[in-house]
Amino acid sequence: MKLYQLADMKGGWFAGDFHPTIVPSKDFEVAVKHYVAGAKEPKHHHKIAQEVTVITAGSVRMNGVIYTEGAIVVLEPGDSTDFEAITAATTVVLKTPSVTGDKYLD
């Protein structure tokens, strides 16, 4: 058995084609991300990867729409979104495939 800490991962990302990682893979990336209320991420898109975001706690705003616990938001390649944590929030994010540099600010 091995033990890791999410705090030791970069931005909550723990699986994918990057370092540090626990599960190296070119097929996918996975993160658990914790946000304080008011935290924001700029509008961006991916040209290759699909991104699936599960809201596991709290409420967030993406593209002006409020999502709460249990929502699963799927962004296809080319779909743009911004992000704001309305309350303290936790998300689980799956991106597939894992492609370095496939994030473009709008």
Question: Mind listing the pLDDT tens digit for each residue in 47-58?
Answer: 999 999 999 999
Contact 21, 6 (CB under 8 A): no
Question: Mind listing the pLDDT tens digit for each residue in 81-96?
Answer: 999 999 999 999 999 9
Question: Mind listing the pLDDT tens digit for each residue in 4-30?
Answer: 999 999 999 999 999 999 999 999 999
What length is written for the chain? 106
Domains of the chain: 27-99 (2.60.120.10)
Predicted TM-score (pTM) of the model is: 0.95
Query: CA nearest 33: which of 83, 96, 74, 67?
Result: 83
